[in-house]
């Protein structure tokens, strides 16, 4: 049995939003770590000890091994490592670096909404569920008529337009930087609820672009970097937090499959994202016409 999380209550965005239909839509949180055990329908993930001081809400997970439940509804994004023609939990191995998106990172067990295997990450994320009988390239469940399919390769510009005109807080992993153009892999979007939250969750593991200019504040260790230091830091960056807005979809490039590559214009980039990134609120943006989500500070 894995170690349980200390009962410290983190400062998190309110995990439920009451929509027009009266239902609750949880905001997703992200946990990153190393797989220490794999069993049918479950993983154990070792969260690394914090490499630098961080908020108290993160301290209770640093260095802890968590139990992760992988259900038929979990989106599993990993290469077909065993070559059996389907993407299942058997393709995840001990030692793999994974990112878990969940409604509650402090639950026991943590119920995964998304498992992204960064060690064996597919070029285009798969949206297969862990049911072992999906055919590669096809959805494990049919889309509901009148709604956008959940898979990122089919989310397309129409679904992504739900995120336009919003100030987004994106946790990303940098894959390259040149002349103000940062290429990244999205791991999670914070502070979204309802259908935008579902669209954000479907983007986990998807390639994206981040535009950086002289108005972008790049922060490392609490200090805003100069332009020269900024370019050097981004060229060797790993995990980042980006605050910004999507550009017009007409300006987005497409990947080899023809899928649009979402492009963010960054207002702020924070280097060295902590291993656990609960959904912190984003400051209100007058142009967005909405307030930030409430914060629980028990």
Any idea of the CA torsion for 116, 119, 120, 122, to the nearest 10 degrees? 60
Q: Show which of 90, 117, 144 is a domain's final residue.
A: 117
Closest C-alpha to 192, from 164, 217, 212: 164
Closest C-alpha to 276, from 35, 94, 106: 106
Q: Each residue of 259-295: pLDDT tens digit?
A: 778 888 889 999 875 433 333 444 444 454 444 444 4
Rounded-to-integer distance, Cα 113 and Cα 115, Å: 7
With respect to residue 260, please indicate whether it lies within any of the assigned structural domains.
Answer: yes
Rounded-to-integer distance, Cα 99 and Cα 201, Å: 12
What does the mean pLDDT of the chain come to?
69
Phi, psi dihedral angles at 276 (to 5 degrees): -110, 125
**pLDDT at residue 42 in the model:** 92
**pLDDT at residue 252 in the model:** 83
**pLDDT at residue 166 in the model:** 77
With respect to residue 123, please indicate whether it lies within any of the assigned structural domains.
Answer: no
**Residues of the chain scoring pLDDT < 70:** 1-27, 50-60, 123-162, 194, 202, 273-298
Phi, psi dihedral angles at 34 (to 5 degrees): -115, 135
Token reading at 93? 């191995």
**pLDDT at residue 12 in the model:** 31
Phi, psi dihedral angles at 192 (to 5 degrees): -105, 150
**Quick check: pTM over 0.85?**
no
Number of domains in the chain: 2
Q: Each residue of 200-222: pLDDT tens digit?
A: 776 777 788 899 988 888 888 88
User: In the block, which residue shows the tokens 């009451």?
Assistant: 18
- Contact call for residues 204 and 186 (beta carbons, < 8 A): yes
**pLDDT at residue 228 in the model:** 83
Shared-domain flag, residues 179 and 274: yes
What CATH number does the domain containing 200 carry? 2.40.50.320
Q: What would the DSSP string read from start to end of 21-45?
A: TS-B-PPPEEEEEEEEEEETTEEEE
**pLDDT at residue 67 in the model:** 92
Shared-domain flag, residues 235 and 188: yes
Residue range of the domain that includes 38: 21-117
Shared-domain flag, residues 182 and 266: yes
With respect to residue 14, please indicate whether it lies within any of the assigned structural domains.
Answer: no
């Amino acid at each position: 049995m894995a170690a349980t999380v200390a009962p410290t209550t983190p400062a998190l965005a309110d995990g439920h939003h009451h929509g027009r239909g009266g239902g609750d839509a949880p905001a997703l949180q992200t946990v990153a770590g190393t797989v220490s055990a794999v069993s049918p329908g479950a993983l154990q993930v070792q969260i690394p000890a914090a490499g630098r001081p961080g908020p108290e809400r993160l301290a209770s997970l640093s260095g802890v091994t968590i139990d992760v439940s992988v259900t038929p509804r979990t989106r599993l994004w990993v290469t077909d490592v065993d070559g059996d023609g389907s993407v299942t939990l058997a393709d995840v191995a001990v030692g793999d670096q994974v990112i878990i998106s969940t409604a509650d990172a402090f639950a026991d067990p943590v119920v995964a909404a998304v498992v992204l295997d960064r060690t064996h990450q597919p070029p285009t994320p798969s949206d297969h569920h862990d049911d072992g009988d999906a055919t590669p390239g096809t959805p494990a469940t049919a889309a509901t008529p009148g709604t956008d399919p959940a898979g990122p390769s089919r989310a397309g510009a129409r679904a992504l337009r739900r995120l336009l005109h919003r100030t987004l807080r994106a946790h990303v992993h940098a894959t390259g930087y040149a002349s103000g153009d940062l290429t990244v892999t999205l791991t999670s979007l914070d502070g979204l609820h309802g259908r935008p939250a579902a669209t954000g969750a479907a983007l986990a593991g998807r390639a994206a672009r981040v535009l950086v200019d002289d108005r972008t504040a790049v922060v490392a260790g609490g200090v805003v970097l100069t332009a020269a230091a900024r370019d050097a830091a981004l060229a060797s960056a790993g995990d980042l937090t980006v605050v910004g807005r999507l550009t017009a979809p007409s300006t987005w490039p497409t990947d080899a499959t023809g899928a649009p590559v979402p492009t963010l214009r960054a207002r702020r980039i924070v280097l060295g994202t902590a291993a656990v990134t609960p959904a912190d609120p984003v400051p209100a943006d007058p142009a967005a016409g909405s307030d930030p989500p409430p914060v629980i500070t028990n």
